[in-house]
A and B are shown apart, each in its own frame.
Chain A
Amino acid sequence: MKQKIRDILGKHGGLPVPVETLADDADLYAAGLSSFASVQVMLGIEEAFDVEFPDNLLNRKSFQSVDAITRAVSSLVGNAEAAE
């Protein structure tokens, strides 16, 4: 899941640095993630994982780091995939 998220970040995040250089807990906003790009990343994730973010996850914190996004997505995809 993390790799898939990283791929989406690389494609839609518009980051000035390669995603591989960022640790799982690195602050994506400090790395240059704009609010516009964060929505594009959300859309990419919704499409890739076939989920829809509820409004309570649509805040800065949910997209602060690769770890945070992983937690948010895990809470949505249900037990089956989370157990993988």
Chain B
Amino acid sequence: MTLTVGSSLAERAERVSAVAAVHADDVDVKGRFPREAVDAMIAERLLSIQIPAALGGEDASLSQIAEVCSLLGQSCSAAAMVFAMHHIKLSSLVSHGAGDAWHSAFMRRVSDEQLLLASATTEGGIGGNLRNSICAIEIEGDTCRLTKDATVISYGAHADAILITSRAHADAASTDQVMTVFTKDQYTLEQTHVWDTLGMRGTCSDGWLFKGEAPKEQILPKPFAEIAAQSMLATSHLLWSAVWYGIAVNAVARAQAFVRAAARKSPGQTPPGALRLAEASNLLQLVKSNTIAGLREYEAAKADPDRLSSMGFAVAMNNVKIASSETILAIINQAMLIVGIMGYKNGTPFSIGRHLRDAHSAQLMISNDRILGNTSNLLLVHKQDTSLIG
């Protein structure tokens, strides 16, 4: 590693963010993979920061990873979301694969080769509930085989490995699932859907028919139900929220630059957008506080599987996601009202259209209605933690 200038994590992330910013509009317009930004992540070795130092990583905490997500989100939502989804997958490996020879060796490979991990949890026919699978993994001798109609695999064509869910065996119930790591040389992808969307266009979340064959030791040793509850659910809601927060931060920064420019032109007069800026700042602080509180709760619960699988923790993480995904839309809308036509128009220093379109994905990636439905079920027995001490 030859990082001469500024090798702190924040400095490395800032450098990647600067690269991502240059290409963000092109990535969005063309709906293409943010190749330059991901290459910069690889050059700065950001894809392995979460992995234990003993396996070549840097033991980064989820809060540190969230900060990188936010910094990237401030320049390119798609690059930030790719980074977030990679680390969500990695969190499952770090939490549930560390004691296992194959998965430990694989984490070492991710560090050494800066491999990009993708996720295939969505399947045609399950109605969006990732805790159900139709496809089943087939085990024969030492080999496992899987065919899955994966209606969404974000950046599937650009990943070096895919972590994919399925039923544990041919007779398993739909909720009796496992997750398996397949490396690029172990699967084929046949495209079934094209990702042409309102926003988050550069995540290239196309649909694929996945066919893979690998040694069976690549199946994660824990049931997916535990993996989902103990690492995936929390890290998804927290890292997504960090990305969304980053998008909102940049929209507010643009609105603030606009107001400041107006203020400088006519000193002594408060520009018309100033009050809205104050409101946007207030909402931005709410999202920040909410995300930080969620991250703290996760760091505190991390070492205790019972706490991670508790209803209270699930409710808290659900609430973080609902609040951040709804509030960023209100913030970016305020920013648009402040800037006006210069924000609505593409290609100005104050353009906010991309932010607004990208932010609209937040309520849909795991539908807020589904999450509220889940929380409302839990609240039939769970009593919310209302202590301010935490």
| A29-B223, A32-B176 known; A42+B309 contact, CB < 8 A | no
Q: Which of A32, A33, A39 has the most CB of B within 10 A?
A: A39
A58 within 8 A of B: yes
Contact of B310 among A35, A43, A58 (CB under 8 A): A58
Could you say which residues of chain A place their CB within 8 Å of the CB of B104?
none
Could you say which residues of chain B place their CB within 8 Å of the CB of A35?
131, 374, 377
B115 within 8 A of A: no
Contact of A30 among B176, B312, B381 (CB under 8 A): B176
Contact of B311 among A30, A43, A46, A59 (CB under 8 A): A59
CB distance from B72 to the nearest CB of A (A): 32
Within 8 A of B (CB), among A12-44: 16, 29-36, 39, 42-43
Could you say which residues of chain B place their CB within 8 Å of the CB of A42?
380-381
A60 within 8 A of B: yes
Cα A10 to Cα B99 with chains together (Å)? 37
30 sampled A-B residue pairs with Cβ under 8 A = A16-B173, A29-B175, A29-B176, A29-B223, A29-B225, A30-B168, A30-B173, A30-B176, A31-B176, A32-B175, A34-B175, A35-B374, A39-B377, A42-B381, A43-B380, A43-B381, A55-B310, A55-B311, A55-B312, A55-B383, A55-B385, A58-B310, A58-B311, A58-B312, A59-B306, A59-B309, A60-B225, A60-B226, A60-B309, A61-B306
B262 within 8 A of A: no
Cα A42 to Cα B168 with chains together (Å)? 26
Within 8 A of A (CB), among B286-326: 306-307, 309-312
| A29-B225, A60-B226 known; A53+B175 contact, CB < 8 A | no
Interface residues on B, range: 20 to 34
Task: List A residues at the B interface (Cβ < 8 Å).
Answer: 16, 29-36, 39, 42-43, 46, 53, 55-56, 58-61
Could you say which residues of chain B place their CB within 8 Å of the CB of A56?
310
CB distance from A56 to the nearest CB of B (A): 8
Could you say which residues of chain B place their CB within 8 Å of the CB of A55?
310-312, 382-383, 385
Could you say which residues of chain A place their CB within 8 Å of the CB of B168?
30
Q: Which residue of B lies closest to A61 (CB)?
A: B306
Instruction: Say whether A34 contacts B131, CB under 8 Å.
Output: yes
Within 8 A of A (CB), among B339-390: 374, 377-378, 380-383, 385
Could you say which residues of chain B place their CB within 8 Å of the CB of A33?
175
Main secondary structure of the interface of B (DSSP, over half): loop
Could you say which residues of chain A place their CB within 8 Å of the CB of B309?
59-61
CB distance from A48 to the nearest CB of B (A): 14
Could you say which residues of chain A place their CB within 8 Å of the CB of B223?
29-30
Could you say which residues of chain A place their CB within 8 Å of the CB of B172?
30
Contact of B382 among A32, A58, A61 (CB under 8 A): A58
Q: Which residue of A lies closest to B313 (CB)?
A: A59
Could you say which residues of chain A place their CB within 8 Å of the CB of B175?
29, 32-34
CB distance from B318 to the nearest CB of A (A): 12
Cα A47 to Cα B382 with chains together (Å)? 15
Could you say which residues of chain B place their CB within 8 Å of the CB of A58?
310-312, 381-382
Could you say which residues of chain A place their CB within 8 Å of the CB of B378?
39
B64 within 8 A of A: no
Could you say which residues of chain B place their CB within 8 Å of the CB of A36?
374, 377
